[in-house]
Amino acid sequence: TTWVLCPILAAIIAVILYKALRIYLRYSKLHLVRTDAYLRLGLLLAGAFGAYALGANNIANVVGVFLPAIEFSTLELGGISFSPAQQLFLIGGLAIAFGVMTYSKGVMMTVGGGLGRISPVAAFVAVVSHSIVLFAFASRGLEAWLLSMGLPTIPLVPVSSSQAVVGAIVGIAILQGAAGIRWRLLGTIVMGWVATPIMAGFISFFGLYFLQNVFDQTVF
């Protein structure tokens, strides 16, 4: 369900935020220089929020499966205790940072300009919308508030950040008329979303089969 809900929710949020921000900019009559400065600051803050939301949600994809499988002892450094879960979070965070420094440029170029032209305002809205979706699926506080209000809760599950940001960009593009969307590239991205879990399943199956039958390891 979240596989479909994530990009749709991001698109809806992006459309609402984009329209609201355009209306504000139209009637606020800010000077062009001040508007540019605000947008630059907003992009930096949105990027920071996006990084936080990514860590809060997607760290489960990186290290969540290891929590019940690997027994770490509590680490003491300078009077500060690090639980096994915190150690795994640190390793996962460093791994994500290393991935950003090495192989992320191609993906960033695809999202940032490959799908279509993105204005600074649209970029700000897309990142904020993507971050809101990731945060919503990771926030215990939001879940508790929804429960207290008697409203349906949002499951605390990892969702795809790429699906969220692509959904936000497509939502803004559709609002603008959808003329600038590169539909072939979008189709390739969607095919990747479908192929990724299938490929991961096959690799996992054959890897575990190899471990069980060659090294005589219990794998389940």
C-alpha angle with apex 161: 94 to 114, nearest 5 degrees? 105
- The sign of the dihedral angle between the CA atoms of 204, 189, 46, 148 is negative
pLDDT string in tens for the chain (220-residue length):
677 888 899 999 999 999 999 898 888 888 888 888 988 898 899 888 888 888 877 777 777 777 777 777 788 887 888 887 888 888 888 888 888 788 777 777 766 666 667 788 888 998 899 999 988 888 888 888 888 888 888 887 878 888 888 889 888 888 887 777 788 888 888 888 889 889 989 998 888 888 888 877 777 6
For the chain, helix, strand, coil in percent to 5 are 75, 5, 25
Q: Which residues contact 66 (CB under 8 A, 6 or more apart)?
A: 88
Helix (H) or strand (E) holding 97: helix 84-102
For residues 82 and 177, give the distance between their C-alpha atoms in angstroms, rounded to a whole number.
Answer: 51
Give φ, ψ of 119 to 5 degrees. Answer: -75, 165
Which residue, 100, 8, 16, 86, is CA-closest to 54?
A: 100
Q: pTM, whole model, 2 decimals?
A: 0.80
Residue 69 is classified by DSSP as T
Q: Two tokens at 128?
A: 């904020």
| Residue 14 to residue 69: CA distance in whole angstroms | 39
What is the structure's pLDDT at 132? 92
Given a contact cutoff of 8 angstroms between Cβ atoms, the answer to whether 36 and 112 are in contact is no
The whole-angstrom separation of Cα 132 and Cα 130 is 6
- Residue-range domain boundaries for the chain: 2-181, 182-220
